Amino acid sequence: MRKQECLDYSRRALLGASGALALLALLQPLRIFAQAGGGKVRIGIIGSGHIGGAIGGLWVKAGHPVLFSSRHPEELKDLVAGLGPLAQNGTVSQAVAFGDALFFAVPYGALPQLGRDYGDALQGKVVLDACNAVPARDGVIAEEVEREGIGITSQKYLLSGTRLVRAFNTLSYTIFVREANRPDPKLAIPIAADDGEALKKIAKLTPSFLAGTRGAQGTIWLDEHQNLQQTPAFPVHTVDTLGAGDVFHGAFALAITENQDVPSALRFASAAAALKCTRFGGAFAAPQRAEVSELLSHSQAAGPPSINR
């Protein structure tokens, strides 16, 4: 069990966890508000296998120019031929140079090498990271992910100048293909980021409601006009962040299904996650509703530091 003696619940847990919302989204898809697609984004796909090929193909169909990469780019000829003129194939280096946004969909164990080979070129790029660490496939790095959290580990290996967003990592590619562009209510897709500028770029790639939890710095989110908003965090004495992200997402989904507006739902979720962090354990340490209500009625949320626009 992890112990932390600090006054916030860490970004680590929140960048790493999003399973609760994914599950709720499937059971009862949420529609918070639709965001207009906006302009098109040039996207480089790093790893054009199952998930890279599928998500990249959906982006091409949505009108975005996409460069699918491989260490053997000639093997992608059939894929791009079937997608039309907006799709092209190339090397990893070409994809990194091409994309305003990059979609990483490789075995997690490949990230350190990709960071070493392309780190300089990745500086300032928005990176959507779908890679999950699986011990049997990825080896010892999976232990580091378990220990440190997956968002922190990806950021470490892809270098600090990358604008990292965890996205499309919680569902099978078959579900994305099956549910894409279905009638309302849309499928909710958990995305974790602490970078407001990255959120705005991603808003062009998905109609989803976008928010990023940032521990003691509160939650950033895009309103229906795509303006960056912030919900402050509740200052608590944190002893264990295990499950904090799941509690946040579960509480948020609950509040939305109760027809709370977005600011209220985010405040409710922040309070639930903060309370969870004051006690040890995962799901069993989730607070009761009465506790959340009491915190909401008696506490002032902390004032926000500046937003990274």
Ligand X SMILES: NC(=O)c1ccc[n+]([C@@H]2O[C@H](COP(=O)([O-])OP(=O)(O)OC[C@H]3O[C@@H](n4cnc5c(N)ncnc54)[C@H](OP(=O)(O)O)[C@@H]3O)[C@@H](O)[C@H]2O)c1
**Residue from 59, 68, 98, 108 binding ligand X (CB under 6 A):** 108
**Residue from 173, 221, 248, 268 binding ligand X (CB under 6 A):** 173
Residue 98, C-beta contacts closer than 8 angstroms, at least 6 positions apart = 42, 44, 67, 90
The answer to whether 165 contacts ligand X (rule: CB under 6 A) is no
The answer to whether 72 contacts ligand X (rule: CB under 6 A) is yes
CA-to-CA distance for 46 and 92, rounded, in angstroms? 6
The answer to whether 94 contacts ligand X (rule: CB under 6 A) is no
Site for ligand X in 123-152 (CB under 6 A): 130-132
| Three-state SS at 3 | coil
Q: How many residues bind ligand X (CB under 6 A)?
A: 23
Nearer to ligand X by C-beta: 109 or 235? 109
HSE of 77 in the Cβ direction (CA atoms, 13 Å)? 2
**Residue from 16, 44, 52, 196 binding ligand X (CB under 6 A):** 52
**Residue from 102, 106, 211, 251 binding ligand X (CB under 6 A):** 106
CA-to-CA distance for 267 and 222, rounded, in angstroms? 15
Beta strand 126-129 with 101-104 is parallel
Q: Which amino acid is located at 170 in the chain? A: T
Structure tokens of 13? Answer: 């847990």
Nearer to ligand X by C-beta: 52 or 287? 52
Nearer to ligand X by C-beta: 50 or 237? 50
Closest CA to 12 of 142, 153, 108: 153
The answer to whether 77 contacts ligand X (rule: CB under 6 A) is no
CA-to-CA distance for 166 and 151, rounded, in angstroms? 7
- Residues of this chain that interact with ligand X (CB under 6 A) are 47-52, 70-72, 92, 105-108, 110, 113-114, 130-132, 169, 172-173
